[in-house]
Structure 1
Amino acid sequence: MSNAASILLLAFLAITFIQSGYDKLFYWKDNLDFLKEHFAKTRLKNVVALALGHILVLELISGILCVVGCIELFVSNGRTFGLYGAVFSSITLLMLLFGQRLAKDYDGARTIVIYFIPAIIAVLLFS
């Protein structure tokens, strides 16, 4: 139970990013159509598909690293993959935040901050 908070934070991040990556992967066209409209008046309007692919890869890497971090922490008390998962999660969230701010979607940006707080707490716990 000494690692309960760390495991719960990594599980939270893993669920968040694996589910989001799954959604982007299996509902690519729906996501792309929504995001093209969302970013139509921004500098990203011509690179939405590339940005979506980039975010998809980062989300999957973040989620997988968090899962491996949970396993590593549970099995050997190791913290390396947990730290990598938390850092990748934070970077991914910063990229999402940048996009929301660029699109002037301040409610969406505020929602991302809610996810960013546990990610930063995880970085602190694993550092």
Structure 2
Amino acid sequence: MKLLLNIDVDDLQRAEAFYCAAFGLVPGRRFDGVIELLGAEAPIYLLQKAPGSEGASGSRRDYARHWTPVHCDVVVDDLEVALQRALTAGAVAEGPVREAEWGRIVQVADPFGHGWCLLQFLGRGYDEIQR
């Protein structure tokens, strides 16, 4: 299986600048209304979609902060450095850094309303809690 991540945004240039600055991604190919970003384990495609345009379920796109049961985690080596980089690029922190048996996590939102988690694994990561 090959995974592709598609992210709707209302401003391609602003989204490219954010994702490259926040997560260290680099632009790849460009299509009409699409920018491919490389540097993650899966390519990320920024899709320019106008606010208010119809989404897959008939709902209207809204780039204010929204909740969805699907979100992305970015695994980082140093949570404080990664968080500061994301905040400087325009992310908004959504709570404090939390500690767990497997590592540390902090939630952020990008400028387009999408939620992200920054994770720093410690010890054996998720294997610390494997049952």
TM-score by length of 1: 0.27
Q: Larger strand proportion, structure 1 or 2? A: 2
Greater relative contact order, per chain length (Cα 8 Å cut-off, separation 6+):
1
Q: Larger helix proportion, structure 1 or 2? A: 1
